[in-house]
Amino acid sequence: MKTTGIRILTRADLERLLSLEDCIAAVEKAFALHARKKSLAPGLLHIDVPQADGEFHIKCGGLELEEIYACLKMSGGYFANPARFGLPSIQSTILLWSGKTGSPLACMDGIHITIYRTGAATAVAAKYLARRDSATVGIFGCGNQGRIQLRALNLCFSLKKVYVYDVDAQAKEKYAREMSELLQLEVLPASNVEQAARARDIIVACTPARKFYLEDRFIAPGTFIAAVGADSPGKQELEPTLFRRAKIVVDILEQCVQVGELQHPMRAGLTTMQDVHGELGQVIIGDIPGRTSDDEIIVFDTTGTAIQDCATAALAYRRAVAQGVGQVIQLF
């Protein structure tokens, strides 16, 4: 019987194989394929582990790329890990299969791909939904995701000034200092949420908050908001009333209703599924319009989807095979 090997790709391997620009292109293609019905049932399972203050996100799905691929990603979110055990707060693994034969192709670190593909989704959404002359950004959350979000936006816009806020004062000072040097941008630590949010062209909310901090009154006409942090039940960053005056675009509607920022205005009776403008992929392929005026407030509710993981993992796998990167193990 013919056997197949599974390729093991470490974080270091993926850093060699995938650039942020690669991921932006791959994610845009993934959303377009999904809108054209060329994705395989992206799904989400959430597991709480209250005994250890943790949770797992399990995302699965696939895409019809050069070949058909399916993938599964399991991520553990244990936000007390750094203080308790000196471990990362999020750890993740991606498995990639052939959609033609069902053979497992690769097992790879999920953190690098998750960080990059999440930042890439915001950049793609902003490309279609933010004002093209956007120059000022407010970033909420100074972790790895806050950094990649700004790096991705900086590839797509001529940014001039960035305000950053975090509840950890030292973290926001460090972020401002390091990102200013890295990107040669004016990145300033905001003294409060309102200063970081008010009159910004683009706002990115990427914190683990469970109560909103971005108030409706802070948001000016014309703002594009990427709501990144809410990806499980109970997480929340935006005041629900904001959705009454915003155009709402989502990554995957069913996921956003269940675990995204949308869960809160829908539960409060402020928004229905009929109020959602559509999914990002529909905007990309031109089925629905994106921004239609400079005064529109647009919220992109993104929970993260396996089609993003699949697109980037498949690209990494193909390059790894071509370049002989990674260790191949015969499982059976």
Domain at 16, CATH number: 3.30.1780.10
Per-residue pLDDT tens over the stretch 152-204: 999 999 999 999 999 999 999 999 999 999 999 999 999 999 999 999 999 99
pLDDT higher for 306 or 89?
306
Chain Cα centroid distance, residue 318:
23
Domain that holds residue 144: 130-304
Domain match, 278 and 189 both: yes
Chain Cα centroid distance, residue 31:
12
pTM exceeding the 0.85 threshold for the entire prediction: yes
Report residue 305 as tokens: 């989807």
CA separation for the pair 106, 115 (Å, rounded): 19
Contacts of 199 (CB under 8 A, 6+ apart): 136, 220
Residue-level pLDDT at 198: 95
Per-residue pLDDT tens over the stretch 248-285: 999 999 999 999 999 999 999 999 999 999 999 999 99
Domain match, 311 and 279 both: no
Is residue 3 pLDDT above 70, yes or no? no
Domain match, 171 and 54 both: no
Is residue 135 pLDDT above 90, yes or no? yes
Domain match, 57 and 206 both: no
Residue-level pLDDT at 232: 87
Chain Cα centroid distance, residue 71:
17
73 flagged as catalytic: yes
Contacts of 124 (CB under 8 A, 6+ apart): 24, 27, 28, 31, 280, 284
| Contact by Cβ (8 Å): 160, 135 | yes
> Number of structural domains, the chain?
2
Mean of per-residue pLDDT scores for the chain: 96
Domain match, 99 and 234 both: no
Residue-level pLDDT at 1: 39
Question: Phi then psi for 46, rounded to 5 degrees?
Answer: -120, 135
> Does some domain include residue 48?
yes
Residue-level pLDDT at 189: 98
Domain match, 148 and 9 both: no
pLDDT grade for 42, boundaries at 50, 70 and 90: confident
Which DSSP letter does residue 242 get? G
From 29, 59, 73, 235, active-site residue: 73
> Does some domain include residue 123?
no
Q: Give the CATH number for residue 138.
A: 3.40.50.720
| Farthest CA pair distance, the chain | 65
Domain match, 249 and 314 both: no
pLDDT grade for 332, boundaries at 50, 70 and 90: confident
Domain match, 148 and 240 both: yes
Q: Give alpha helix (H) positions in the chain.
A: 11-17, 20-35, 81-85, 111-129, 144-156, 169-183, 193-197, 253-259, 263-267, 280-284, 306-323
Residue 125: name the closest of 294, 293, 290 by CA: 290
